[in-house]
């Protein structure tokens, strides 16, 4: 089973504070151990909301809001990791994606690179990696898009792959099979889905291949402890159903 583990943004990240070196080291060891064991599928950290863009599609129009902003509707249905040259290029792909959804909401968030965390100088003219987050709506929470939308999204993802833009796409199962883990000083409180909403911005995620939900929760305990012991994590199942052509 593949689980997406998403921790929420925190005030320090939102303020632009860099994580301390010991946290970076511990998280690197944690992620590296799971990668070496073949459990890590994907993962990334996101920057403050000032590095993000919200796109709301309604009635054939697209309203764009540049960060910084507070969380509003942050329950994800799918994520796409894009590698582009410019923000405008990412926006162009997002607008095409949103046009297929009709009414819906997307977010583009810059992925943290080692130089963003002060680990190394930035290389000359690096590519831009952004996470495109498709927000959940009644259709995705009920089980998915229409056959026509799924086919159109598959064609667009294929085009993105051929263009060298799409690194990886993940579709999530409805939140009714998810869990919300709230840690307070490493004490855990668990709430089962469905979740009507999530108003906290995603701060980062890891996708893991694990035996079951108990194994995922056990992993989240260590994940949360590394991040300070007081935070909220959403645990969602990745939908591995094949896409329609």
pLDDT tens digits, residue range 93-146?
999 999 999 999 999 999 999 999 888 999 999 999 999 999 999 999 998 889
Beta bridge partners of 56: 63, 105
When the pLDDT of each residue in the chain is averaged and rounded to a whole number, the result is 94
pLDDT band at 235 (very low <50, low <70, confident <90, very high): very high
Burial 143-163 (b: 16+ CB within 10 A, else e): ebbeeebbebbeebbeebeee
Backbone angles phi, psi at 217, to 5 degrees: -65, -40
pLDDT band at 245 (very low <50, low <70, confident <90, very high): very low
Burial of 7 (0-12, 13-18, 19+ CB in 10 A): buried
Query: Tell me, what's the pLDDT at 196?
Result: 76
Q: Give per-residue pLDDT as tens, 190-228.
A: 999 998 778 889 999 999 999 999 999 999 999 999 999
Do residues 137 and 149 touch, judged by C-beta distance below 8 A? no
Q: Are strands 128-135 and 61-66 parallel, antiparallel or unpaired?
A: unpaired
Is it the case that residue 244 has pLDDT exceeding 80?
A: no
pTM, two decimal places: 0.94
CA distances from 101 to 65, 148, 197 (A): 18, 10, 19
pLDDT band at 29 (very low <50, low <70, confident <90, very high): very high
């Amino acid at each position: 089973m593949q689980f997406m583990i998403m921790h929420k943004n925190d005030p320090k990240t939102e303020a632009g504070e860099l994580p301390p070196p010991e946290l970076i080291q511990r998280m690197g060891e944690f992620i590296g151990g799971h990668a070496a064991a073949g459990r890590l599928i994907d993962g990334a950290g996101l920057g403050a909301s000032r590095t993000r863009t919200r796109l709301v599609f309604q009635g054939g129009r697209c309203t764009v809001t540049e960060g910084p902003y507070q969380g509003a509707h942050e329950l994800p249905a799918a994520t796409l990791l894009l590698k582009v040259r410019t923000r405008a290029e990412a926006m162009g792909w997002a607008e095409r994606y949103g046009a297929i959804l009709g009414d819906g909401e997307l977010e583009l968030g810059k992925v943290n690179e080692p130089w963003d965390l002060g680990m190394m100088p930035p290389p000359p003219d690096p590519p831009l990696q952004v996470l495109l987050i498709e927000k959940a709506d009644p259709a995705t929470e009920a089980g998915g898009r229409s056959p026509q939308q799924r086919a159109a999204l598959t064609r667009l993802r294929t085009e993105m792959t051929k263009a060298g833009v799409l690194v990886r796409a993940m579709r999530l199962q409805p939140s009714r099979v998810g869990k919300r883990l709230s840690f307070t000083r490493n004490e855990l409180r668990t709430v089962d889905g469905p979740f009507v909403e999530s108003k906290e911005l995603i701060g980062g995620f890891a996708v893991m291949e694990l035996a079951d939900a108990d194994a995922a929760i056990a992993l989240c305990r260590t994940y949360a402890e590394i991040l300070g012991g007081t935070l909220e994590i959403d645990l969602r199942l990745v939908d591995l159903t094949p896409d329609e052509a």
